[in-house]
A and B are shown apart, each in its own frame.
Chain A
Amino acid sequence: MLATSVSNALTLELPRLVKHTPLLTATNINKTYGQVIALENVNVELYPREVLGIVGESGSGKSTLLRMLNLEESPDSGTYHLEIPAFQDQNLFDLSRFERRQLRVKHIGIVYQNPHLGLRMRNSSSGNVAERLVIAGERNFSKLRAAAKRSLEVSEFPISRMDDPPKVLSGGMQQRVQLAKAIALKPALLLLDEPTTGLDVSVQALVLDTLRRLQRDLGIAMLVVSHDLGVIRTLSDRVMVMRHGRVVEQGLTDQVLEDPQHPYTQQLVHAKL
């Protein structure tokens, strides 16, 4: 007991090198569905330009957490702050539906595992991307088209197919359309929910490469949920391991994967092919 409190005191005194404030701070998030605890006292911090990975088995609460951070759902309790002008000092969970939508459209991009959730499958791909810009207030057709094209290019989507609807595209291309839509307004935060699950390995490698390049060139902070440790290793600086709605371990990605401390993390790492 004494040892813990002494070490806590020491930790508090430590000088910090990184002086800037986190882009994202979520504290004490709790959520239950009936008897099921989906999230229990989850805390998340994400710094500008940083990539945080969230791993855990199915049902560990990682996707629920991502939906909360995308303001699609509200927790039972908890606070959520983003360091974004006009929203700085607010608990984002208190925002009205209209305000949430405003914030989401301008500042948060999301890529779902299932493209059906993020795209209108029968509209053209360029139209899907332009939709965000329309919601943000752009009305000029040629500007919309040019911006959509640029965003698709950055996401390494084959431009010759920009007018095809997503339903006729391959899985990898659908993910690129989602990505183009997500980054169209250069969000501060990009949420990725299993972005490469279900894609074959060569397409997966290309999508991962695109994501790394985007992060490098645009400096967007990202939160990546995946059960694939390879994906997490390739993309993230830090990682959080979740189980039964709780964060059981977190740290630098190589530290968590090479020297896991928690029994569950050790199991997870040893189960990797």
Chain B
Amino acid sequence: MILEVNNLSKHFYLHQLEREVHAFSNLNFSIRSGEVLLVAGANGVGKSTLLRTLYRSYKASAGHAWYASLHGAIDLVRAADVDMSLLRQEELGFVTQFLRPRPRVSAVELVAEPLLFAGFETRQAEQRAYAALEMFGLKPELWQAYPTTFSGGEQQKVNLARALIQPRRLLLLDEPTASLDVTARAALRERLSQLKNDGVAMIAVLHHPEDAAGLIDREIVLHSDLPQDTGFLEPEQEVAYVA
């Protein structure tokens, strides 16, 4: 197992409203290297929240997420911040549905940046960045431009190129195909398939699971069985395994 999640719960406390908002409770699942796990469920049941909790963008409220890192087993819920930084640099990847462009930083620089931080030479890093941008089909005339003014689809291509440029052991995919055209979707599927063959474990939230057709090994479904009109989700989450 590369990741084993035990009784993981997340709720938010909003001090201004003095109330708790539940996302999910007592989740249990595990995943092996090279496996792709689909997280399914209606809008707002906490699918993205689960990915963010595993990446530690959100702080889990209870439970554990044991991850078998190259340095040894570690609980992603309680790991020291510096250790999380290290894992994010070396082993964990998070692919979001939005690019966070930085003012006055070109597309190619944004994509090459993780490699530069990892100590690659500028030329080598840029070459790989060009290859990644080409793979996702971003027009070459945009490579040197600032992505702030790009269309949603173009930004997403930059985002994917950046997120997938380095080798990772566990990838968290949060709607990576949102706003992508057909060609880019196919390119992404191709790339994910390669990564799967290389042994990368993936946990994915996808609105169109057909984008990852043939790659998905298992599925967990999150639900909320509360009346919808409360505006808050206070769930007894059930986890179903699908072969």
Given contacts A17-B74, A17-B83, A261-B13, 7 further A-B contacts (CB under 8 A): A14-B78, A18-B86, A206-B104, A209-B102, A234-B102, A252-B85, A267-B15
The 9 closest A-B pairs by CB, nearest first: A205-B103, A263-B15, A259-B58, A17-B83, A17-B71, A254-B57, A18-B82, A205-B104, A252-B81
Q: How far is the CA of A234 from the CA of B14 in the complex (A)?
A: 26
Contacts of A50 in B (CB 8 A): 82, 85
Q: Is the CB of B82 within 8 A of A209?
A: no
Shortest CB distance A201–B (Å): 8
15 A-B pairs whose Cβ atoms sit less than 8 Å apart in the complex: A14-B78, A15-B73, A16-B83, A17-B72, A17-B86, A17-B87, A205-B103, A205-B104, A209-B105, A255-B58, A258-B52, A259-B57, A259-B58, A266-B16, A270-B16
Does B75 lie at the interface of the complex (its beta carbon under 8 Å from any beta carbon of A)? Answer: yes
Known contacts A216-B117, A234-B102, A263-B15; A258 and B57 CB within 8 A of each other: yes
Does A117 lie at the interface of the complex (its beta carbon under 8 Å from any beta carbon of B)? Answer: no
Contacts of B85 in A (CB 8 A): 50, 237-238, 252
Q: How far is the CA of A237 from the CA of B59 in the complex (A)?
A: 16
Does A2 lie at the interface of the complex (its beta carbon under 8 Å from any beta carbon of B)? Answer: no
Residues on A facing B (Cβ under 8 Å): 10-11, 14-18, 47, 50, 201-202, 205-206, 208-209, 216-217, 234, 237-238, 250-252, 254-255, 258-259, 261, 263, 266-267, 270
Q: Can you list, as one digit per residue, whether each of B67-92 has a CB less than 8 Å from chain A (1) or not (0)?
A: 00101111100111111111100000
Q: How far is the CA of A47 from the CA of B85 in the complex (A)?
A: 11
Q: Is the CB of B12 within 8 A of A14?
A: no
- State which of A10, A18, A206, A252 has its C-beta within 8 Å of the C-beta of B56: A252
Q: How far is the CA of A14 from the CA of B52 in the complex (A)?
A: 22
- State which of A202, A254, A266 has its C-beta within 8 Å of the C-beta of B14: A266
Contacts of A208 in B (CB 8 A): 102-103
Contacts of A263 in B (CB 8 A): 15-16
Shortest CB distance A258–B (Å): 5
Q: Is the CB of B79 within 8 A of A261?
A: no
Shortest CB distance A94–B (Å): 28
Known contacts A205-B104, A251-B59; A17 and B81 CB within 8 A of each other: no
Does B116 lie at the interface of the complex (its beta carbon under 8 Å from any beta carbon of A)? Answer: yes
Q: Can you list, as one digit per residue, whether each of B190-222 has a CB less than 8 Å from chain A (1) or not (0)?
A: 000000000000000000000000000000000
Contacts of B103 in A (CB 8 A): 201-202, 205, 208-209
